[in-house]
Amino acid sequence: MQDITRGDFGNPQIYEQVRAHNNVYDAIERSTYFRQILTQAMGTDYPPESAQYSFIGMQGLCWIAERISMTSAGVCIDIGCGEGSLSNWLHRLCGRKITGYDTSEKAIQIAMKKNHLNCNFVVADFCRLPIDDGSVAAISALDCVQHAPSPLLLANELARIYIPGTRLIFTHWMRRFDPIMLARYDPLCSALSAAEFKIEEVTDLDPNLDIQFRVYAYVHANRKLLEEELGSMLLDSLMSEAHHLHPRRSKVGHLAVSAVWDPN
């Protein structure tokens, strides 16, 4: 098993974020109720053998893996990989070896304990990746881009490591716009467009956010049990998400976006 080294994150604010994420993954690793809630809310779409803290199901993973398969042979990475379950599923579905990057040492420790033979895991800030310029064929970023210090910083870092034709597939909560409107009005998609990414496809992974709000409903109904198991910080975070998204539910979707880097 590889040694885990502390990442050089550059931005002091990242260290606070890392501590919070370490606490989240430590709590989720010990949790049984939260996993039961995800399994019950997502039904047959829940990825088996997963300990994810994500609302992405098998249909979404298949959509993402299919687009990774469209890229030329080369390095594939999964930024914000968490504890590695979804990285491993992407490998199973597309057959490509994947390296996952996450700022949380705890998440990477969990991922490495699972001994995914065709996935490697590295502690790193995805805005300062330890990767050579122009060396990556495909990148996935599942429910993590909101943690970047700035959309432009993330877009420029991804453009640095890509080669023409490299594909980026990410998931995020955004207005339900078509690719042209997203590139014009969404802050991240606009930054990607400025960094010469062309958005080709957009799909809604959870129409009306039905699955996500089903999870919130189960969490609220079992909040006392979950608070004992997860602690108040994570429980409050989930309820805060629900309150923030509820008035925007008719306009915001959990979208998957596929973009290609084309500097010409």
Most confident of 110-114, 202-206, 220-224: 202-206
For the chain, which residues make up each domain, given as ranges? Answer: 12-208+245-261
| Alpha carbon of residue 135 to chain centroid | 21
For residue 14, which of 199, 150, 197 has the smallest C-alpha distance?
150
Pairing between strand 162-175 and 252-261?
A: antiparallel
Task: Write out pLDDT tens, residues 57-66.
Answer: 999 999 999 9
**Rounded to the nearest 5°, which phi and psi values hold at 11?**
-90, 120
CATH class of 12-208+245-261: alpha beta
Taking the C-alpha atoms of 58, 60, 63 and 66 in order, what is their torsion angle to the nearest 10 degrees? -50
User: pLDDT at position 7, please?
Assistant: 47
Task: Say which residue the tokens 């300990």 belong to.
Answer: 51
Amino acid identity, position 194? A
Pairing between strand 119-123 and 162-175?
A: unpaired
User: pLDDT at position 6, please?
Assistant: 42
What's the mean pLDDT in 127-143?
Answer: 95
User: pLDDT at position 2, please?
Assistant: 40
What value, to the nearest 5°, has the Cα angle with vertex 87 and ends 217 and 108? Answer: 90
Structure tokens at 239: 């309820």
User: pLDDT at position 4, please?
Assistant: 39
CA atoms of 10 and 115, how far apart (whole Å): 29
Tell whether the model's pLDDT for residue 99 goes beyond 90: yes
Pairing between strand 119-123 and 197-204?
A: unpaired
